[in-house]
């Protein structure tokens, strides 16, 4: 404690012990200062030069539709306005697109924000939360931030293990379980019938967060029919991937009315910006452009597979906008390959969990970026070997 001299009302002075800085609550004070991902911009600042191939963040280098760009441009002068806090137009358009009613949808500033809000609703200090070891780390970040206790199960054959997840939920009596389908970081997926079976046997008082951020790039039989009568399923999707709007931050959750309404109790009602609402609405209307982008993503995945095979590496089948490549050795070897690519101005990422860390992950990009990756990969491998 430090002592501070203060003047009392009567004009006399005394010394009292005061603490000269504010205190974090113990939970926050105990957390490490970290972020789930290091952005390519941070790496570029550290390297003091830009990347020539930005293939690590699972963005869509194809960009948004021309119709979306035109909508943004035509409304740019309205940026002085707050966005509609009810997201009325976008919610109604999404509801019509998905065959539900607006009360089944909440819009937020990307899936990451919605994940945090969902965790906040069901997790307190010490609450067990089930996920896969190596699955999307931002979800773990939110669980830690609210004091939850992560219970993780390993992947099996590079897919999230549905049976092990279910067993962990029942053993821990967990109120929350996270599953992404298609999966990040491996790109693998389960058929809709398997996901529906998992939902059927899940305890009724356990919420499933089904992250479908890559739903648009998945096979049609990977996405279960939307059933908003189930109160323990929240499905999350985004405009960041196939729609090409990662920089504008727009995601949405679909679920039963009561569970969706709960988001209104804690969400930032003015968190969305007006141009993002306009862009997402225009993107949803332009399904022809979306289909064209998905075709380019499929072609890009095939190209990355060919590059991997050409370098005697194995590519894991993917239903996303990236391909995970098995480097054929252990985690340190794959990390060395990643760093060698970064040294050669190619930005990629990799899984870090044991068993998955033998891989690197390469996003679909523009032809010239994949050309450069194809040129640099053999050099990076040679440097490591």
Nearest to 72 by CA among 262, 280, 259, 243: 280
pLDDT class of 15 with cuts at 50, 70, 90: low
In this structure, how many other beta carbons lie within 10 angstroms of the beta carbon of residue 261? Answer: 13
Phi, psi at residue 180, to the nearest 5°?
-105, 135
Give me the percent of the chain exceeding a pLDDT of 90: 91
Nearest to 58 by CA among 305, 306, 322: 322
* Structure-model confidence comparison of residues 286 and 220, the more confident one: 286
Average pLDDT across the chain, whole number: 94
In this structure, how many other beta carbons lie within 10 angstroms of the beta carbon of residue 239? Answer: 29
Number of H helices, E strands in the chain: 13, 14
Decide if pLDDT at 233 tops 60. Answer: yes
- Residue tagged 């067990």 (tokens): 128
Contact 106, 252 (CB under 8 A): yes
Burial of 298 from C-beta contacts in 10 A (0-12 / 13-18 / 19+): middle
Tell me the two tokens of residue 242: 């196939």
- Residue tagged 């356990």 (tokens): 206
Decide if pLDDT at 16 tops 80. Answer: no
Decide if pLDDT at 2 tops 80. Answer: no
Contact 327, 316 (CB under 8 A): no
Mean pLDDT in residue range 241-264: 97
* Alpha carbon distance 160, 153 (integer Å): 8
* Alpha carbon distance 268, 280 (integer Å): 18
* Alpha carbon distance 146, 123 (integer Å): 7
In this structure, how many other beta carbons lie within 10 angstroms of the beta carbon of residue 332? Answer: 11
Burial of 71 from C-beta contacts in 10 A (0-12 / 13-18 / 19+): buried
What's the pLDDT at 33?
85
Nearest to 209 by CA among 263, 271, 157, 269: 263
Tens of pLDDT, residues 194-215: 999 999 999 999 999 999 999 9
Tens of pLDDT, residues 166-182: 999 999 999 999 999 99
Tens of pLDDT, residues 148-164: 999 999 999 999 999 99
Decide if pLDDT at 6 tops 50. Answer: no
Residue 342 three-state SS: helix
What's the pLDDT at 4?
47
What's the pLDDT at 17?
53
Decide if pLDDT at 38 tops 90. Answer: no
Phi, psi at residue 251, to the nearest 5°?
-135, 175
Burial of 1 from C-beta contacts in 10 A (0-12 / 13-18 / 19+): exposed
Nearest to 313 by CA among 331, 321, 325: 325
Reported as half-sphere exposure (CB side, CA atoms, 13 A), residue 9 has a value of 0
Mean pLDDT in residue range 4-25: 61
pLDDT class of 21 with cuts at 50, 70, 90: confident
Question: Which DSSP category does 181 fall into?
Answer: S
40-61+288-384 CATH fold: 3.90.1150
Domain 66-285 has CATH 3.40.640.10: yes
* Alpha carbon distance 255, 102 (integer Å): 10
Mean pLDDT in residue range 280-307: 98
Domain ranges of the chain: 40-61+288-384, 66-285
Mean pLDDT in residue range 238-248: 97
Burial of 278 from C-beta contacts in 10 A (0-12 / 13-18 / 19+): buried
Mean pLDDT in residue range 380-384: 97
């Amino acid at each position: 404690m430090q002592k501070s001299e203060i003047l009392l009302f009567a004009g006399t002075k005394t010394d009292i012990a005061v603490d000269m800085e504010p205190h974090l609550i113990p939970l926050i004070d105990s957390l490490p200062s970290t972020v789930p991902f290091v952005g390519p911009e941070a790496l570029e600042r550290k390297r003091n030069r830009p990347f020539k191939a930005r293939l690590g963040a699972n963005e869509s280098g194809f960009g948004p539709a021309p119709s979306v760009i035109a909508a943004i441009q035509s409304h740019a002068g309205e940026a002085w306005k707050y966005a509609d806090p009810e997201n009325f137009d976008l919610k109604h358009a999404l509801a019509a697109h998905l065959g539900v009613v607006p009360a089944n949808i909440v819009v937020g500033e990307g899936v990451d924000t919605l994940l945090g809000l969902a965790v906040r609703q069901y997790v307190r200090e010490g609450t067990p939360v089930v996920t896969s070891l190596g699955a999307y780390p931002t979800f773990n970040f939110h669980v830690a931030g609210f004091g939850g206790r992560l219970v993780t199960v390993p992947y099996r054959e590079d897919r999230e293990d549905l049976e092990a997840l279910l067993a962990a939920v029942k053993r821990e009596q967990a109120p929350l379980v996270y599953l992404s389908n298609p999966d990040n970081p491996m790109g693998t997926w389960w058929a809709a019938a398997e996901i529906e079976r998992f939902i059927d046997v899940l305890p009724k008082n356990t919420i499933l967060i089904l992250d479908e951020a890559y739903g648009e790039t998945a096979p049609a039989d990977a996405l279960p029919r939307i059933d908003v009568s189930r109160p323990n399923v929240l499905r999350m999707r985004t405009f960041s991937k196939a729609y090409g709007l990662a920089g504008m931050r727009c995601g949405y959750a679909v679920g039963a009315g009561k569970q969706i309404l709960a988001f209104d109790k804690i969400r930032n009602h003015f968190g969305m910006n007006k141009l993002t609402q306009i862009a997402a609405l225009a993107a949803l209307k332009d399904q022809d452009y979306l289909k064209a982008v998905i075709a380019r993503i499929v072609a890009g995945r095939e190209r990355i597979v060919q590059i991997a095979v050409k370098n005697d590496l194995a590519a894991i089948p993917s239903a996303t906008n990236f391909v995970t490549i098995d480097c054929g050795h252990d985690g340190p070897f794959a990390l060395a390959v990643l760093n060698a690519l970064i040294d050669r101005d190619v930005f990629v990422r990799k899984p870090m969990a044991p068993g998955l860390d033998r891989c690197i992950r390469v996003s679909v990009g523009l032809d010239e970026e994949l050309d450069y990756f194809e040129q640099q990969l053999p050099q990076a491998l040679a440097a490591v070997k």
